[in-house]
Amino acid sequence: MLTPLDVQANRDVRQLAITWSDQRTSRFGFYQLRIACQCAGCVDENTGKRILDPARIPLDIAIQDLALVGNYALRITWSDGHNTGLYTWNFLLTLAE
């Protein structure tokens, strides 16, 4: 399994950059990452249907804080106050493809 070597939030270009253990770097736009959140507030737990309306997320959304969760995920605190989603390494790798 790939693991991150480096994680950087570049606020100037609104991108999260992750350099993986295979030396590949994945870049994620802040807005795209925010609307991809898989938490129960963004995706219905029972149906799997997305309940987050992307139109309600500001296009200039920003990362305010990043925190590692164990050895498997990132918790992102967004400028809209949202912070309940966990972005696992596997999810981020899938999103990068």
Mean pLDDT, rounded, for 65-88: 96
State how many domains the chain has. Answer: 1
Taking only the tens place, the pLDDT of each residue in 13-38 is 999 999 999 999 999 999 999 999 99
Per residue, the 3-state secondary structure of 28-84, as one string, reads EEHHHHHHCCCCCCCECCCCCCECCCHHHCCCCCCEEEEEEECCCEEEEEECCCCCC
pLDDT tens-digit map of 51-71: 999 999 999 999 999 999 999
Confidence (pTM): 0.93
CATH number, domain of 77, equals: 3.30.2020.30
Domain span at 67? 4-96
